């Protein structure tokens, strides 16, 4: 607007100058003199670099997540704890269905579980007793075997001793026999008295009896019947151990079966507890309740929506871009977001860029915006401003500097206080600047106001911009 006012002012000055010139020209023609007047202009430098343009991309705000909460079981609604607009956290109870049957089932299954645990404890006690009996039987068998081995060792030692005694008795008898024979000969010869002879007879008889007794003792010691009691004790101990082992195995099976009963009772209780929990309707996400369907006393179905919850801590803005804006977006980039109706500016993060066109050569870009203060509402219109590079490494001039002479695009630069017309080829432009090619160089002073009244070579006066 300021440039337009200046231009209008400049045009007024030029028009006045023309009128004055005409008048003075008449006077000067009359006096034979003519004087050139400088035309007022405003200038700007020619720049070299990148021409950019701002693109406003608009889309609609969407919730991060929106879910329809459905009951897990059917039942009569007995309590509703939320209403539209309430903020809930994931897991919060939002409604209660009638759970009378489920409560009774839980009580019954708890009783069954306690009974099963009692049976398990009894089975464990029986196993403990069977284990003790088994250990005692094993110890008894060990003791019986030890006693048998000791008896065998004693028998062997006794037989050895009896062998020695038998040898001694045999030797004593043989000696007594020899002594008897000698005594008889001497007695028959009348060399010894009868008494001495009878003593020899008695000694031989005693020695023979002792030998017979020793043989008898050895025979008795060698009899297997002497170990029969110990062997029978071992056999009985082995039988007792087998019985105890069978009882222990039966007790272990009893414990296993009792444990299975406990596990099954626990499973049944867990199932009934889940059924009971299904009678409670809970929020599946954190967010705002946007709709509640149903009234207390109505029947809820596990196939129908009871409530709708929208999570708005994080919202999404979906915009569509053309392929030439691909380079302006990268996943993870931070962008400025303006939401219609809100004065605050928001920061968003590029979360997704579609690699497939959604149609008409456009691609979807998803921008996530932190909304922990809940200012942004789903459905609001929002936009982002993206700078697009239109020309790179080109001469850039203000668009207002370009004018037309004889159907050609021209500009005027200032050289030695005069306007020099330059033909240019116009490239791409934005709202303020245009890229051009031609006989221009960087930092040339180009006329941006007053150029429509200029001709090549006009004397000019550069007006400073207010």
CA distances from 232 to 63, 228, 246 (A): 90, 6, 21
Tell me: pLDDT of 122 over 90. Answer: yes
297-310: per-residue pLDDT in tens?
999 998 899 999 99
Distance CA 240, CA 263 (A): 34
Residue 298: per-residue pLDDT: 93
The CATH class for the domain spanning 71-98+279-300 reads: mainly beta
Q: Which residue(s) pair with 65 in the sheet?
A: 311
196-234: per-residue pLDDT in tens?
888 989 998 998 898 888 888 878 777 655 678 888 899
Residue 465: per-residue pLDDT: 65
SS3 (DSSP) at 315: strand
Residue 387: per-residue pLDDT: 75
Residue 15: per-residue pLDDT: 41
Please state the pTM of the whole predicted model.
0.53
Distance CA 287, CA 63 (A): 10
Tell me: pLDDT of 178 over 70. Answer: yes
Query: Measuring CA to CA, which residue among 20, 163, 17, 44 is closest to residue 445?
Result: 44
Q: Quick check: 309 and 287 in contact, CB under 8 A?
A: yes
Cα atoms in the Cβ-side hemisphere of radius 13 Å centred on 64: 17
381-398 vs 433-438, strand pairing mode? antiparallel
Tell me: pLDDT of 163 over 50. Answer: yes
DSSP 279: T
The domain defined by 104-263 folds into Helix Hairpins (1.10.287)
The mean pLDDT value of the chain amounts to 87
Domains 35-53+391-462 and 71-98+279-300 share a fold: no
Whole-number percent of the chain with pLDDT over 90 = 58
Tell me: pLDDT of 55 over 80. Answer: no
Residue 466: per-residue pLDDT: 57
DSSP 63: E
Instruction: Tell me the longest C-alpha to C-alpha distance in the chain.
Output: 223
Question: Looking at domain 35-53+391-462, does it have CATH number 2.40.420.20?
Answer: yes
The domain locations on the chain are 1-34, 35-53+391-462, 71-98+279-300, 104-263
Average of per-residue pLDDT across 430-455:
91
Residue 51: per-residue pLDDT: 81
Distance CA 327, CA 146 (A): 95
């Amino acid at each position: 607007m300021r440039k337009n006012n200046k231009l209008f002012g400049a045009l007024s000055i030029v028009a006045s100058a023309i009128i004055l010139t005409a008048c003075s020209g008449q006077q000067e023609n009359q006096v034979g003199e003519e004087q050139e007047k400088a035309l007022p202009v405003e200038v700007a430098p020619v720049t070299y670099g990148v021409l950019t343009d701002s693109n406003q991309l608009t889309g609609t705000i969407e919730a991060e997540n929106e879910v329809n909460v459905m009951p897990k079981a059917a039942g009569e609604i007995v309590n509703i704890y939320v209403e539209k607009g309430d903020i809930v956290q994931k897991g919060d109870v939002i409604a209660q269905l009638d759970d009378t049957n489920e409560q009774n089932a839980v009580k019954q299954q708890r009783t069954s579980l306690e009974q099963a645990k009692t049976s398990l404890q009894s089975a464990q006690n029986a196993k403990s007793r069977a284990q003790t009996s088994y250990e005692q039987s094993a110890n008894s068998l060990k003791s019986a075997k030890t006693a048998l081995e000791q008896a065998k060792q004693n028998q062997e030692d006794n037989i050895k001793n009896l062998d020695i005694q038998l040898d001694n008795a045999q030797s004593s008898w043989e000696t007594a026999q020899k002594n008897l024979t000698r005594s008889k000969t001497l007695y028959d010869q009348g060399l010894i008295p009868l008494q001495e002879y009878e003593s020899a007879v008695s000694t031989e008889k005693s020695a023979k009896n002792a030998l017979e007794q020793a043989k008898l003792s050895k025979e008795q010691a060698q009899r297997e019947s002497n170990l029969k009691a110990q062997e029978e004790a071992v056999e009985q101990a082995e039988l007792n151990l087998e019985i105890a082992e069978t009882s222990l195995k039966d007790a272990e099976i009893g414990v296993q079966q009792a444990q299975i009963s406990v596990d099954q009772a626990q499973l049944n209780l867990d199932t009934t507890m889940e059924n009971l929990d299904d009678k409670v309707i809970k929020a599946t996400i954190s967010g705002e309740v946007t709709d509640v369907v149903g009234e207390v006393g109505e029947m809820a179905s596990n196939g129908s929506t009871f409530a709708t919850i929208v999570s708005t801590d994080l919202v999404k803005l979906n915009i569509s871009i053309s392929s030439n804006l691909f380079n302006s977006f990268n996943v993870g980039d931070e962008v400025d977001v303006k939401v219609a109706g809100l004065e605050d500016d928001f920061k968003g993060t590029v979360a997704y860029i579609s690699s497939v066109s959604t149609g008409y050569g456009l691609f979807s870009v998803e921008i996530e915006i932190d909304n922990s203060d809940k200012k942004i509402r789903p459905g609001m219109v929002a936009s982002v401003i993206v700078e697009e590079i239109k020309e790179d490494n080109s001469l850039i001039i203000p668009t207002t500097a370009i004018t037309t002479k004889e159907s050609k695009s021209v500009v005027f630069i200032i050289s030695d206080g005069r306007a020099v017309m330059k033909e240019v080829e116009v490239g791409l432009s934005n709202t303020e600047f245009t890229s051009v090619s031609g006989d221009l160089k960087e930092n040339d002073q180009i006329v941006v106001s007053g150029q429509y009244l200029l001709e090549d070579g006009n004397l000019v006066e550069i007006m400073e911009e207010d």
